[in-house]
Amino acid sequence: MTTLFISDLHLEESRPDITRAFLAFLEQKAAGAERLYILGDFFEAWIGDDERTPLQEKVAAALRNVSGGGTEIFLMHGNRDFLIGANFCDRAGAALLEDPSVIDLYGTPTLLMHGDSLCTADEEYQKLRVNMRNPQWQKMILQRPLKDRQQMARQLREISMAKNQDKEEFIMDVTPGEVVREMEAHGVQRMIHGHTHRPAEHALTANGQPAKRIVLGDWAENVWWLEVTPGASPILGKHPL
Ligand code: MN
């Protein structure tokens, strides 16, 4: 019995090496696992399930193949692909997972998040996030022609890149107090998230007890995953792309 966690692949046409690594990961690791959780920023950008690029279709078919083989697949939104909807999930044989969610991981309640909501020092981004997660705003955006949405995504990406270049390191990371607050609000001693591209295991105290925060890695240079089996400590795995 194995449960796998990945995040921040940032799949895009200009990085076919990442897509290849993901398809190999599905075949070699995910097929045969009990569950696969994808915790956000799976795609570099997402402007609606109706775009259906060859890359998206290939990935959906590969996921469906694995879920058809008996591996349950869960998909959480990231800050890049928060417009992924039910249509894509159906095509991929995946279930959309709320951010945050608590799961029972072989007896250990575990809080899953993408991680962007933990970066509270970036107040400007948190305001933007509230807008972008508003269902009415999303509905309005999704009604616009595909061409408009493609243009808008390009602009948003340029603005975001320009802004993040000026931000200090600590602003781009999680706020430690926010981590503790979330763990205590959900009554858990373990959290798994991505987003920061700083893979690590952190020991901390929450609810007056030892707790652990596991950060998944991004796939820009390495394939990163977390592997959990019953009765063993979670293992962060890695190999070069
Ligand atoms: Mn992210």
The domain spanning residue 215 has which CATH number? Answer: 3.60.21.10
**pLDDT at position 160:** 80
Which stretches of the chain are DSSP H helices? 16-25, 54-68, 86-92, 123-132, 135-142, 146-165, 176-186
**pLDDT at position 166:** 74
Query: Could you tell me if 97 and 60 are in contact, meaning their C-beta atoms sit under 8 angstroms apart?
Result: no
**pLDDT at position 188:** 98
Its pTM stands at 0.96
Residue numbers in the chain where pLDDT is lower than 70 = none
Distance 192 CA to ligand 1 centre (A): 14
Q: Can you tell me whether residue 191 is helix, strand or coil?
A: strand
Distance 7 CA to ligand 1 centre (A): 9
Report the candidate in 213, 188, 39 with the shortest Cα–Cα distance to residue 107.
Answer: 188
Domain interval for residue 103: 3-240
* Number of domain units in the chain: 1
Distance 123 CA to ligand 1 centre (A): 16
Q: What is the pLDDT of residues 204-224, one digit of tens each?
A: 999 999 999 999 999 999 999
**pLDDT at position 232:** 94
CB atoms within 10 A of CB 80: 25
**pLDDT at position 172:** 82
**pLDDT at position 167:** 75
Distance 231 CA to ligand 1 centre (A): 30
Distance CA 72, CA 33 (A): 8
Strand order in the sheet with 222-228: 94-97, 72-76, 35-39, 3-6, 222-228, 235-240
Distance 116 CA to ligand 1 centre (A): 6
